[in-house]
Structure 1
Amino acid sequence: MAMRSVLVAMLGVAIAGGSAIGARHYLIATPALSSPEAGPVAEMVQVIVAARDIPFGTEIQPSMLKVIAWPKQALPPSAVTDPKLLLPAEGQQPRRAVKGISQGEIMLTSKISGYGEKVTVVQNLSPNTRAMAIKVDAVTAVGGLITPGDRVDIVLTQGQSGSLRATTILQNIRIVGVDRQTDERSEQSTVARTVTVEVTPEQGQALALAQKAGTLSLTLRTLDAEPNRQMESVALEDILNAPPPTAVDAPAPEPLRTRIKVRRAGEVETVEVN
């Protein structure tokens, strides 16, 4: 009886083990069914990204690059997938960053110069614009807080003594350089002597005349500044002759009254005297 129980138990274990092995082979051989919510598996390709921040004008070197997998459908058209396209051959001049590239950012051909190509501020200008320098100081350049990439309004102050007048001549102008600094990712601010701005040819003419006509001051715009609007010039006499704020009339004080006590026929009465 005992032997029969042992044989039955061994047979059960053998059947269970065989079932488990069979199920495993079945799952391996059977392709996974995709659920209605799951989409097709994305095809991955290799792409080159920046291993660290690459400032404007920096030579592209192997230590600055790394390869990662990226979904093919989400790959930008100008993405670089072969590091040989970024690194020079023996005896060849290097390529440089024509725009600042952040760590982890995909390397794009639009942000890389040609082999041995000179990199200047020209690569940072928008189509049909010019770079023009204007003289500034600590006061006119917002105390040295302006850095490349900021946007400013330019105010012209002209006249003498009581005839002074201020006029906003240009709005939403991009700063492309502060002295010789052109890297927009730089957070270091300095008291500059010149600021280079990006302007259209027409704006450049106006700016050249304005520099001769008076003093130019920069006002730093916020990131969510309102769109450009027509602004009237302000004269010093407008400020000095502006009517003072209307005073609120205070209520008239109540007259002082004196109270005295009067005794009449044995009774005391309080009487107010003006």
Structure 2
Amino acid sequence: MKPARIAVICIAAVSALGLALVVRAMGNGEPAAPAAAAPVETRPMAKILVAAKNLEPGKRLAEADLAWKDWPVDEVNPAFITDGSTPIPAKPAPEGAGEKAGAAVERVAEAAGQMAGPGAKSDYIGSVVREPILAGEPIVGRKIVRAGDSGYLAAYLEPGMRAMAIAVTVESAAGGFILPGDRVDVVLTVQNEGGSSAVEGGATTAKYSSATVMQNVKVLAIDQSTRAGDDAQAVVGATATLEVRPQDAVLLAQAKSEGELSLSLRSYADTAGPSGATRAPRAVASASRSVRVYRGGEPEVVTTP
């Protein structure tokens, strides 16, 4: 082999060995510092009140019907009900709007905030659903009726039922211990015509009789109170509003004209029995007309239907 070729081979071998040493030295060096991870931007969230299940009109809200749900703050509508833990910034007026338009938007937002805004879940328990609400849908004021709001009693009534008020006193309402939501019997006391009994001195006194005309009916309100306070033990009022069937409303109206009505409070353990009237309402006589007819000079009265 020629000397020149041998020299080239030696140079190549030395170069390969040097390159291997360089690569090995680089592998044993300190690791490069990892690039800093870019911060992940998170959207601020607020908790709003939503329906925990599908709610139908006439449903009275309970604890299990409501739930808190996380919602992006920048998407919270002023009509939504929040828990108040996260401040909701006011949305700016649209660009190009004048001062009057901005003031109008501010008033609308303020009114919406007063209508809903922050609150506790317990503030809405007992409200009645006015429009259908789907599960997970935010609760808004226009879809529910809270106790004390206009239209609450009409929404609270069961389908097909009627509300009718009767006058009561402390004595005729179980001393005021009858509260909205209780069940009662309606007792009618009438004076018997011509009935009397002898007493001392030869004086006479009228006889009275009493009977239950309605049983196990719900008390919707005492005066204008549809809910008793948390610590209320008694409610004294001048009227009691009862929930009755349409045909029972006729009987109750007749009973009011016959005598004095009293309410008898039923036990919670005795509310599963039949409910409604204990007698049929009397038929109302239709109006008739009388005509005087003269036959042979003799008058005769003829009644026509």
| Band the TM-score falls in, shorter-chain normalisation | 0.3 to 0.5
Normalised by the length of structure 1, the TM-score is 0.47
Normalised by the length of structure 2, the TM-score is 0.43
Structure with the higher strand share, 1 or 2: 2
